[in-house]
Structure 1
Amino acid sequence: MSKEMRHIARKRRPPDNDRWPFIWPAVETTVLGPIMQKARERQGVGFSELSQLVTHYYRMWRPHASLQITPQYLFQLETQRIQTCDPAVACAIALVLAIPWDEVLGWEFPLPTPSPPDLWVLLTSMGLSPEQKRMALSFIEFLRSNTFLEGV
């Protein structure tokens, strides 16, 4: 196959889930790294164990992603050798290390705890203003509330 044909084939390949669109806010490792290191050392979790736990949650949110969460990858995130990462990776790390998502993500206002990270990413990718996102999330929280579910 010629070089030109390989380029065309590569462009037509559907994007896999772990290459998120650039309009979605990536997570800066300058924020994630220090928080991750402090929480990991406090809990005594090694990179090997952390990679297994993070992979479990990451695969729930990105089942077809080609990204492999290895101990080396997590080390590079923590030491900031990689500058950005997928929000789903950061949220999986936060979930495993019991860190609030909004601390790790460093986005403009807190993410409600029960909201899945992809919902936040979706609202951001729609180009909504912070106020519109806040309204959408409070409506979703209302739909999940016991008052609504019980029909009161």
Structure 2
Amino acid sequence: MTTSFRRKAAAVAFAVLGLTLAGGGIAVAQPAAKAPEAVQPAARGTNSQPPVSAESARLSRAALKSNVSTLAATATIVVVNANGTKARGTGTVIKYGTGQYEVQFGFIVTSGVYVATIGRGDACCVPPAGEVSVAPRLSTPNGVFVQTRNSAGTPADLPFHLVVHTS
């Protein structure tokens, strides 16, 4: 009991520290018990996820085969540049369109918690203002969908930090 509590407390403290250091906008998503089968509803008109490409499905299967995790809890961090390249961290990044990214991991993340913030990949400067949203990637159990927008709500390519915690 106390070991489980310590793991959860450490994970929460780690996520808070990461967000504090990263700065910028904050978004948190707790996925539902079962991922929806259809495209997610659009709040601003462009919130739906693009279809999963054949390349994305291939990369997802390869990542799951290469890293079978037996850990009870995992916290993973990835920092992504605005152009969709990975600055540092764990995971594979796929850029679909303006402000649309998919980050894939070597383990299943559907029951995890996703925390993202706008943040630069280098040690310079304050990140641009904007918004970031995260959701489980439809039809990809080891993927997270990330959408970035400018402060006016228009899709924009912005750098971000992503923390994924699974238990």
TM exceeds 0.5? Answer: no
Q: Which has the higher helix share?
A: 1
Compute the TM-score of the two structures, normalised by the length of structure 1.
0.30
Compute the TM-score of the two structures, normalised by the length of structure 2.
0.28
Q: Which has the higher strand share?
A: 2
